[in-house]
Structure 1
């Protein structure tokens, strides 16, 4: 006999099978944490879904759900949207970035009563999670190459989004500056276009609709062979200001998260919160309280130096990070520590290192660690960057002068560094 899973109020009683699944998931997560195996969210969520495959649907029924997906920036934007929506009521969120169905399910099980659910979703799982959660809003930030050994080619991912979101009743908030995102959102009923700029353009040379050559300008793009072109945005990032659909401007200089990419994330987050009636100036004021996201941008003291921790997982992410540590036109200042791993969670193919413009680091003192430090060393040598290779973070930090060090690492290297330096 199939148990009903229709609409319900947030926090409404669960059927017996779902209650058992939630309890088993929480117990498994607690055991995992006690054993020092991480947060336990993913393994707990997996057990819960094994016991009740419909659990995510049940846990999000009756909530106003928001999904955020992208190659870069989704964890930060999820945090910003959640903060903005707290102006309207309690929010449940997978704030630490466990963004596949198991991690999402665990997060929803841990907070049953919140009216809103703000959910970061891995790109590959977006259509399935959207079908389960029936979101009111879906934010699509960007698509670029990532984890080349196991992730789909970017156009294939865009196709998956396009098919999965066709005729969705959700309001789709989409980046007008990314041709792949524009095409992916092209079959949705209600799209809010946001112009936030995009430094990385090397995944958008050909038109996703017809294969023709895209003409890319600094603030516009179009296909020379079909009618694909940049839509007119309702929201925009203009320097240090958000421009709302009514022309009102909201300053972004109060944001604690640094850089152009985070101003872009804030504009997308404000456009998403507006779907639920949060005014732009209120949303931005609330976002100004966010100082770090899951360790990103944390500043810690370690071995007499001040380390700023920055995450960069793929060429697009590294490019945005370089704008923080080595702005164009500015004189190099301060050492930079780089760490790259190639474990399963990172993607084992590191050929993407050759797509990163490491010449941006010329003039900096560069310290290299990590599992793939020798691969990175070859890339830096070709780029003409002076560097030193070390076996561990202790030796690298000790070799740097007293003062500040910018630390850039990919996913597992970033987590390892956080544990080592106590962040």
Structure 2
């Protein structure tokens, strides 16, 4: 790789020092502060750190962190990979990730949906992976149609190779201006944000995975990759048993997206898939933690689509703890709780905690789901008999629980 200019070297080094100090003092994992320090000293540091690297950017409303981890695992077949493994998905986090592994020839960066155009323009990434768009952090996030429109503009005229989920009409529309697109049938269980055509505003005719506008020519492209329950189907029609350790249909979809990205980098399925199978947890997601004989599996759900996938993974035979906050990273508007169908929880012991537990309690009351209100996660866990329990929490509630158990990953 080309040597960084002196100013960029100094900015990168000081950023790494700030990150290390943050971790040593227990202030955080350093994945943001290091990048902020570096950018303060050299505003163009991200561009300079990205130069000469082969980069993949991963963006979506749900599944970014997991898919980034899976792609990173696959690309380790080729050499060192720089990545923002802990989910710091804005430019400061990208700077920190690339600075921490400044000699890695490859990089896989999770990117916030809103920041994708800026990061693509700055880094010149050769591959972009786009998976889904749905409502999220409704008090401060842009309308998702506007995000898809920004993606279209950002990809137009660039030589970027896009790997995109063609089952999501908004993602398809956002990706369709790219010079090269590999379409993946990754599924879309949450359809409530995509009943209208993003091209003309007309109604979409949706039949299983297929969809088409009733008033214009916009329709689902023919996929090159597909998921068929436990099997990935590649562009040559060959079927691959996934056998990944991460649970649920959403993660099998994430794995197929990762295989398509890996192939775009020249890593064939037979070399990438064994590495995907080694991934058991992603930044605490799906980790099981233990306290006093109680084994709690941690599931993250940040929005209606995420809760739908979490319910798919949760064991209906187990008690379940639900924890909801409404801090800045969560979005302060909890009205999205009314879009989640909690009736699936009927018949199992439900325990509710978190800073906005009363909001969730009201929602469960209306859904006729019996529950026990708890003052803290510790109290909720202590109420469980020895054995297994599932935990679903939104972002900051999830991080608080991880902190209680030493940030299990």
Fold match by TM threshold 0.5: yes
Residue aligning to 1:229: 219
Tell me how large the CA RMSD over aligned residues is.
Answer: 1.0
1:239 aligns with 2:233: no
* Counterpart contact for 2:23–2:29, Cα < 8 Å: yes
Gaps of at least 5 residues in structure 2 are none
Residue aligning to 1:107: 97
Q: TM-score, normalised by structure 2?
A: 0.98
Q: Aligned partners of 2:190, 2:354: CA distance in 1, in Å?
A: 25
- Per-residue CA deviation, residues 294-348 of structure 1 (Å, 9 max, x unaligned), is 100001112320010000000000001101115xxxxx31100000000001110
Q: Aligned partners of 1:377, 1:231: CA distance in 2, in Å?
A: 42
Which among 129, 132, 146 is matched to residue 142 of structure 1? 132
Residue aligning to 1:416: 400
Q: Aligned partners of 1:156, 1:303: CA distance in 2, in Å?
A: 48
- Per-residue CA deviation, residues 205-239 of structure 1 (Å, 9 max, x unaligned), is 11111010111121211111111111000000011
1:396 aligns with 2:385: no
Residue aligning to 2:391: 407
- Per-residue CA deviation, residues 55-113 of structure 1 (Å, 9 max, x unaligned), is 11111111110000000001000000011111111111111111100011011001011
Residue aligning to 1:200: 190
Residue aligning to 1:220: 210
Residue aligning to 2:169: 179
1:203 to partner: Cα distance: 0.4
- 2:128 match: secondary structure: strand
Superposition pairs for residues 377-392 of structure 1, below 5 Å?
377-392=361-376
Q: Aligned partners of 1:281, 1:261: CA distance in 2, in Å?
A: 22
Which among 299, 317, 328 is matched to residue 310 of structure 1? 299
Greater shift after overlay, 141-150 or 296-305? 296-305
1:292 aligns with 2:257: no
- Per-residue CA deviation, residues 16-55 of structure 1 (Å, 9 max, x unaligned), is 1111211221222233223321112212211211111111
Gaps of at least 5 residues in structure 1 are 1-8, 327-331
Which among 308, 315, 335 is matched to residue 351 of structure 1? 335
Runs of 4+ that moved beyond 6 A: none
Which among 323, 326, 346 is matched to residue 339 of structure 1? 323
Q: TM-score, normalised by structure 1?
A: 0.95
* Counterpart contact for 1:303–1:397, Cα < 8 Å: no
Q: Aligned partners of 2:202, 2:41: CA distance in 1, in Å?
A: 48
1:154 aligns with 2:144: yes
- 1:41 match: secondary structure: coil
